[in-house]
Amino acid sequence: MTNTLPTLSNIRTPALTQALQHKLDNKTKPLGSLGRLEALALQLGEILGTESPTLDAPQLVVFAGDHGLTARGISAFPSDVSWQMVENFLAGGAAVSVLARQNGISLTVVDCGVKHDFLAGLPADTQRPGLLVRKVAGGEQGTADSSVQPAMTAAQCQQALHNGQEIIKGLPGNALLLGEMGIGNTSAASLLLARLTGLNIEVCTGAGTGLDAPAVQRKTAVLREVLALHAQATAPLDVLAAFGGFEIATMVGAVMQAAHERRVVVVDGFIATSAVLVAHALQPLVLQRCVFAHRSGERGHEFMLQHLGVQALLDLGLRLGEGSGGALAWPLLQSACAILRDMASFEAAGVSEKSATEARTV
């Protein structure tokens, strides 16, 4: 499948990185005493290309879609929960709605392929606040059942990628927080992880929405069948099309566009990271722009993070999705920018630094 995504350049320049490190090292604190917050501050400065970074108009986008594979009983919840949760987001009652509101983050939900008409009964051209309808397959359709055929056609995959790019072009700000909703999407993410890393599907598959141990075993058996059916899909976009879903593919396009624009990309849990996994397979430099919010309680997420060689900011046992982990981590990004931008240097504050002799003898 042809890759039409934007090309990424290396944003790390020795001059800026050295200037940022020097600025951090000369703040009124012992060297490195703010730990990983300093590394985060340096990364944010590199992404935004400045020694005084500011996070403006953050956008949390929840990409929603349904999965045909749910017909095989791989989820503890029926697919109707997808559209019901979208309505919950729009009503402001979901966890991510509360957290976004608390942190002053704009929340947008994108219908990438939910089996529901959110505009039914409304006048033509009506738009619902906070909702973008970008259905890939049209009508009330999710992806196809990947245990029978590819989850999406090559054309649908390209459409989803394009939709993701265009969504980001239309949003303000310099930070994108990834969220998702879709019953069955932990199965799609597990399949992407297994194929793109070569890991056994057993270690990639977890409880998802709350399956018990026997149900996880049945889910794993179904996913093994799906992998065998699509054994020829090995190129990143072919893998994405084979296993789905529409919300993940749209997220890949959004990630690549945000990275191209040098926005900070805040990555949530297992599903959001699966989109970054695909984007990384296409263009590894995407990781320079990504901040990983948390390590999910979903089994395969740790393996995704290990494969990408990254460390998440939080480890709270979360496995809700929605972008909830990104919203929880957001204050850390704000703090990192504030430290770099506003904290005094030894010289400015008139505070004595550790002497060269002390530095050698400590």
List the catalytic residues.
322
Whose tokens are 């593919």? That residue is 249
| One-letter-per-residue 3-state SS of 72-86 | HCCCCCCCHHHHHHH
First and final C-alpha spacing in the chain: 58
- Is 41 in contact with 336 (CB distance < 8 Å)? yes
CA distance 259 to 48: 11
Whose tokens are 């805040």? That residue is 266
CB atoms within 10 A of CB 187: 28
φ/ψ of residue 103, rounded to 5? -100, 5
Element housing 151 (H / E): none
The size of the chain, in residues, is: 362
Distances (CA, A) of 313 to 47, 125, 293, 305, 343: 17, 42, 5, 12, 22
CA distance 87 to 66: 15
CA distance 342 to 334: 12
Whose tokens are 């297992």? That residue is 270
User: Which positions ≥6 away from 338 have C-beta within 8 Å?
Assistant: none
